[in-house]
Amino acid sequence: MSEREELSFEHRLLLRQLELKDYKEVKEIMEIVYSSIDGAWTRKEFSNLLKKFPEGQICIEDNGKVVAAALSIIVDYDEYGDKHTYEQIIDKGSFKTHDPEGDTLYGIDVFVHPDYRNLRLGRRLYDARKEICEKLNLRGIIAGGRIPGYKDYANKLTPAKYIEMVRNKELSDPVLSFQLSNDFHVRRILKGYLPDDKDSRAYATLLEWINVYYEEQEKNKLIGGKKTVVRIGIVQWQMRAIKDIDDFMQQVEFFVDTVSSYKSDIVMFPEFFNAPLMALSNEDTPSEAIRSMAEYTEEIRERMIHLALSYNINIIAGSMPEYYDNKLYNVSYLCRRDGTYDSQYKLHVTPDESHYWGMRGGHKLKIFDTDIGKIGILICYDVEFPELARMLSDMDMKILFVPFWTDTKNAYLRVRLCAQARAIENECYVAITGSVGNLPKVENMDIQYSQSAVFSPSDFAFPHDAVVAEATPNTEMTLIADLDLDLLKDLNTAGSVRNLKDRRRDLYNLSWVMRKDE
């Protein structure tokens, strides 16, 4: 065989939009595929569909010949609901049901020439449909799916049992098995969807694929919408001697100014970053010194709110001691750039914090709504308790911020390794930052160890080591990192593993038990 003859057997596949001139080849395929139902559409019906929604009609050609196609329209799904028929959707081939302002892509048909079914062309068409759905910002794809394999089991199984066995891979159906493998799920069973479909016994599955990138449209929302790429800044803070609170705030403002100049959306300081203020007190014991430092907390918070407004950046003010009702707490303040603020108390107190300072744990876990999405804050030791991050994840947290203070490397590694685990378990980003340097006159906080970092889940779309950025150990510096929130959506639905979706809720659950006196 000559080289030219060999080339004639090679495939040349092209994915493109259908045109009216393709009708003859489309009809040929439909006559073969749907010989047991109604065969092909008329030329007028095909033309109607192209006029209504040309972008939704796609095909794959091989060496210039159409060998597979997918047809769809846009509908306002609330008008039809879950109980409808195929005829209602296509409106007798007029497709007047197509609504450019609708919210759902409705899959009218997918067919592949039998000679090409070993090339996985159906998967290519489904992927192209999903791309259309995402680009048009539609909620998802709905389709009525035949179950032709049911004809062999109709006398033994109900449609529901048959579908369950196909889902569990105990049986295989030429249509349903393919659809399930393409991330569609069965929403319900339709009776009488295609009355002439004898193989399916007139039953069909109502299938749904959810577009995780869908964004609810807000009228006239030209500015101020939620970001999909967030720039964060974290400060690895040098502990140093200070003269007074103004000297301390001058250092704080320097870093806020610096991180803001890089157009960051948020900046985080470490746990007890205001510890140098303890050296200003004349108290004899650590417990008295930290209570003296707590007197500055309210002023620092107010000045942080002012900085957030002035520099147009959200600020996580590390953590600071707060003393009221004769009780000492460790609290982190979120100072938003719109002038509002909120707080998260440290829930778990370390043995040293209890022994030296008499510190207590808080009682509430919060999720924070911000202009960069939903975030959580866990102070140091709290990140070592996986239940907290999982509860925040169930509240749709996308980024977890962990201000910490550790004195030695082994203490630091407890925080770091647990933070990395939280990122993987909860399919979120986790940022950690601590302090470096020494404070000779501050008992129980005299040495520091830190290597600030930003962690991601571990999958192909993220850095190979699941570390977005990390600082030089024990050196004062800042980290700036861009976090793509859309990658988290994709991970949740199509990741190599899906920690959140694959939980065995039939075996266990997680609940918050609030103290009765709170």
Q: Where are the domains of the chain?
A: 22-210, 232-485
Is 271 marked active-site? Answer: yes
Q: Which CATH class is domain 22-210?
A: alpha beta
Q: Residues 256-264: contacts with CB within 8 Å, 24+ apart?
A: 256/307, 256/311, 256/313, 256/315, 257/311, 258/478, 259/233, 259/235, 259/313, 259/478, 259/480, 260/311, 260/312, 260/313, 262/231, 262/233, 262/480, 263/231, 264/231, 264/232, 264/233, 264/313, 264/480
Q: How does pLDDT run across 174-195, given as a tens digit for each residue?
A: 999 999 999 999 999 999 888 8
The strand pairing partners of 460, in sequence order, are none
What is the pTM assigned to this prediction? Answer: 0.74
Torsion of CA 100, 103, 108, 109, to 10 degrees: 110
Task: Confirm if 329 and 322 have CB atoms less than 8 A apart.
Answer: yes
Sign of CA dihedral 460, 464, 466, 470: negative
For residues 16 and 6, give the distance between their C-alpha atoms in angstroms, rounded to a whole number.
26
Q: Has 59 been annotated as catalytic?
A: no
User: d(Cα 365, Cα 363) in Å, to the nearest integer?
Assistant: 7
What is the CATH T-level fold of the domain 232-485, as seen in this structure?
Answer: Nitrilase/N-carbamoyl-D-aminoacid amidohydrolase (3.60.110)
Torsion 364-331-295-448 (CA) sign: positive
Predicted confidence at residue 424, as pLDDT, reads 98
Catalytic one among 25, 208, 322, 346? 346
**Shared fold status for 22-210 and 232-485:** no
Among candidate residues 9, 137, 10, 127, the one with its CA nearest the CA of residue 68: 127
344 has which bridge partners? 332
| Interval 419-468: pLDDT, tens | 999 999 999 999 999 999 888 767 666 789 999 999 999 999 999 999 99
Tell me whether strands 65-75 and 58-62 are parallel, antiparallel or unpaired. Answer: antiparallel
Do residues 284 and 441 lie in contact, with contact meaning Cβ atoms separated by under 8 Å? Answer: no
Are 200 and 146 a contacting pair, CB within 8 Å?
yes
User: Phi and psi dihedrals of 48, rounded to 5?
Assistant: -55, -45
Task: Compute the mean pLDDT over every residue in the chain, rounded to the nearest whole number.
Answer: 91
The parts of the chain modelled with pLDDT lower than 70 are 1-9, 218-226, 282-283, 441, 443-445, 515-518
CA distance 271 to 359: 14
Distance CA 270, CA 232 (A): 14
Would residue 346 show up in a list of annotated catalytic residues for this protein?
Answer: yes
Round to whole Å and give the CA distance between 127 and 121: 10
Phi first, then psi: give them for residue 72, nearest 5 degrees. Answer: -155, 165
Q: What is the largest CA-CA distance in the chain?
A: 97
- pLDDT score, position 444: 61
Q: Is the Cα dihedral 285, 290, 292, 293 positive or negative?
A: positive
Active-site option among 271, 322, 353, 427 = 271
In Å, how far are 73, 230, 231, 454 from 482, measured between CA atoms?
37, 6, 4, 10
Choose, from 335, 380, 418, 428, the residue flagged as catalytic.
Answer: 380
Residue 124's pLDDT is: 93
The vertex-132 CA angle with 126 and 138, nearest 5°, equals 110
φ and ψ of 34, to 5 deg: -110, 35
Determine how β-strand 203-210 pairs with β-strand 140-145.
antiparallel
Which of helix, strand or coil describes residue 210?
Answer: strand
Which pLDDT value is given to residue 79?
84
pLDDT for the residue 221: 52
